[in-house]
Structure 1
C-alpha cells in the first residue's frame, strides 16, 4: 500500500525501506490546552503515517496535560513512569512565577527525565516560528504578537487562541526557522555564560523534544 506523507496523503513507497517508529514516549505537560494540542497533533500525524506501514516498534505516544507546575508536575511524571515502561519521558512546563523552576529542571534530569522548558511560556516557542525575540516581554503579549503574525499570514482567521487543535500543522511550514532561532537563543546565553534557566528570558528547549518527534513525521 502507498505510504502517507506528513499530512496523511498517499505517496509512492520504496519497497526496500523498513521504517522504525518511535518507542513509547510519555509527555507530561503543565498546560492543558496549547501544549496538549500541539503534541497530540504530532502524535496523530505519526500514527497516521505508521498505521499501514511495516514497522519495528509500535508507535506509542502518551500526552498527559496535568495543569500542574514545576516540582509537582515532575513528581507526577515520575509517578506515571513507575506504572509502566517508557523509552523516554518528557516534562513540558513554563517559568511563569514559579520559584522552583531551576530546582524542578535539575531534579527532573537527576531522575532521568527529559525537560522541555520555556521562559516565560510555551507561546515563545510558537512565536519563534515567525520572528526573533531577544528580550523579555510580558507573557500576556505573546498572544497579541502571535495574532499579528496569524493575521499577516492568513492563519486561523488571523486569531491566535490556546485551543487550536491543529496548532502544529498550521505552524509547521515555519518549524525550521523556529528551531534555528531557538538554538541561537540558547547559544547566545552560553556565550554570555548564563546557564540558569530562570535568568534565560526569553529562552526555550522545546525544540529538543520536537526535533526528536518530527523525524517520524517525515518517514519515507
Structure 2
C-alpha cells in the first residue's frame, strides 16, 4: 500500500488531506518561490511546497525536485504533483540542456513549465500583450519595470499583479494561439512565451478565497 504523503506531517487525520504540488526552481532564484507561495493563502485544494537544491542547469533542477518528492513521500497517483520552472534563457548550450530536462521530466511524471526567455514574461502579460522577440532577460525586466516600480527578482509582486490575473491568462493564451498560427510548436523556439498559466489555472480551478 502506498503511503499517503504527509499523513504524519499534516496533523489532524480527521481533516481532509491536501494534495501537494512540489515545485522546483533554478538555483537560489526567489522569483517563482515568492509568487507561488502566496497561493497557499488563497486556496484550499493544494499545499504548495518547494524542493531544495542549488542546481541551475535544467536537468539538475529536475533531479533536485525528484529528490524532494522522495523525501516528502509524494503520491502522484492520488493527486500530488511535481512542477518544475525553467527559463529558456540565452546561455550557450542551453537548448541541449533543456531538451535533456524535458525528456527526463516526461519520463518521471514531472510537469515542466518553460518561460522564454524568462519567468518575468508571465508578470509582463498581466499588463500588456506583445509578440516582441526579446534579445535578453534584462530587456524583459526593463519593460516590466515600467509597470512595477523598482522591480527586482527578489521583489514580492503578488499583491501588485493578482488583480490582473484574468488579463494575464487571456494574453498568454492569445500568445499561444499566435505561435500556433505561425507554425511554432516547439516551446523552446517560442519567444516570447510562458507555460506558467497552465499551473496557475490548475491551482485556481481548485481554490476558494
Is the structural similarity TM-score above 0.5?
yes
TM-score of the pair, normalised by structure 1:
0.74
**Deviations 1:72-121, CA, capped at 9 Å, x for gaps:** 11111122222311411100110112232133123212221111210100
Within the candidate set 40, 60, 67, 1:72 is matched to: 60
Q: For 1:21 and 1:146, locate their aligned partners in 2 and report how far apart those are by CA, in whole Å.
A: 38
- Specify whether residues 196 and 173 from structure 1 end up closer, same or farther in structure 2 by C-alpha distance, changes over 3 A only: same
Range moving further from structure 2, 60-69 or 125-134: 60-69
- SS of residue matched to 1:140: helix
Structure 1 gaps, min length 5: 1-19, 51-56, 151-157
SS in 1 for 2:154: coil
Contact kept in structure 1, 2:116 and 2:190, CA below 8 Å: yes
Contact 1:70–1:101 (Cα < 8 Å) also in 2: yes
> Structure 2 residue aligned with 1:103, among 100, 104, 119?
100
**Which residue number corresponds to residue 94 of structure 1?**
87
Q: 1:144 Cα deviation (Å)?
A: 1.7
- Partner SS state of residue 205, structure 2: helix
Q: Cα deviations across residues 120-159 of structure 1 (Å, max 9, x unaligned)?
A: 0000000010111202112101222111113xxxxxxx22
1:29 alignment counterpart: 25
**What CA distance in whole angstroms lies between the structure 2 residues aligned with 1:72 and 1:149?**
33
Distance 1:124 1:22, change over 3 A: farther
Contact 1:66 1:73 in 2 (8 A): yes
TM-score (norm 2): 0.78
Runs (5+) with no aligned partner, structure 2? 1-15
